[in-house]
Amino acid sequence: MPAKRTSIRFRNQLLQVMSADDLALLQPNFQPVPCERSKTLESANKKIEAAYFMEHGIASVVGGGSREVEIGIIGYEGVTGLPIVYGNHRSPHHTFIQVAGRANRISAAVLRSALEKSATLRALLLKYAQCFHIQSTHTAIANARGTIEGRLARWIVMAQDRIAEKELPITHEFLSIMLAVRRPGVTEALHALARRGLIRHDRGIIVVIDRQGLIERANGLYGVPEAEYLRLIG
C-alpha cells in the first residue's frame, strides 16, 4: 500500500467516520480557514459558494427576516451548506459564525460532484441532514413550550457539546437574539441558573458547572436530537 495517505486527523466528526475513499474525494479540495466571530457563511436567498466542515467554534443558522431567530447550530459534529446536499444552491436562511474557530472549506461545485460520485458520501451527509432537521424541529418544540430558563439551559448544553470546553464566550445580547427574547430576560434567566449552581457567568462568558443539572433544567428539551445523532452517525 502506497504511503501517500496523509495522516492529518480531523476533529470534525463527519470526516472522522467517513470512509477513506470518500475522504480522498474531499480532502485535496479542503481549504483550512479561520472563522472569526460574525463571519457570514451563507446569506439568505443567495447562492451558497462553499460548505464548511467545522473543526472548532460554532456556526448558527437563523431565519425569519428582520428579527432573526435561531434555527440550529453547527459545530465540529457537522457541516454547513446542507442545501447543497439537498441538491440546491440556496435557502432562505442565514448562516454565520457565532463562536470563533476554524473549518475546512470546500467549494459547492466540488462537493456537489463528490456527492454525485459517491453513494456512501451521499448517505453520510444525508444522515447528518436528518440530524440537523431533527435539531430544528426540537427548536420548534422548545420555542412552543419552554420557558426562557429551560430554553437557555438547552442552548448552553448544546453549545458546550460543540465547544468541548466549559467556557462559552457569548453575550446576553447575542443569546437574546438567538432565543428571540428580551435581553434582560436572558440576564434574569442566567441569574436563575447561577443561583441553582448550574453555571457561573462573567462579562461575555458563561461557565458550565453542572451539565447534568442543566439538562434536567431544560426539562426534556435536550436529548432527542443528540440521541439521533449518536444512532445515525455515532
Partner DNA sequence: GCTTCTTCGGACGGTCCCGTACATAGAAGG
Partner DNA sequence: CCTTCTATGTACGGGACCGTCCGAAGAAGC
Q: Summarize as ranges the residues that interact with DNA (CB under 7 A).
A: 147-149, 171-173, 180-185, 187-191, 201, 203-204
Q: 83 or 101: whose CB is closer to DNA?
A: 101
200, amino acid identity = R
Partner touching 123 among a second copy, DNA, none, CB below 5 to 8 Å by kind: a second copy
Q: Tell the smallest beta-carbon distance from residue 63 to a second copy (Å).
A: 6
Give residues with Cβ within 8 angstroms of 226, minimum separation 6. 161
Rounded to whole angstroms, how far apart are CA atoms 122 and 126?
6
Question: Which residue, 114, 135, 139, 134, is CA-closest to 124?
Answer: 114
Q: Tell the smallest beta-carbon distance from residue 150 to a second copy (Å).
A: 13
Rounded to whole angstroms, how far apart are CA atoms 53 and 8?
15
Residues of this chain that interact with a second copy (CB under 8 A) are 63-65, 67, 69, 71-72, 83, 85-88, 91-93, 116, 119, 123, 126-127, 129-130, 133-134, 136-141, 143-145, 179-180, 220, 224, 227-228, 232
Contact criterion met (CB below 8 Å) for 90 and 45: yes
Rounded to whole angstroms, how far apart are CA atoms 215 and 69?
22
Q: Tell the smallest beta-carbon distance from residue 134 to a second copy (Å).
A: 6
Q: Tell the smallest beta-carbon distance from residue 15 to DNA (Å).
A: 32
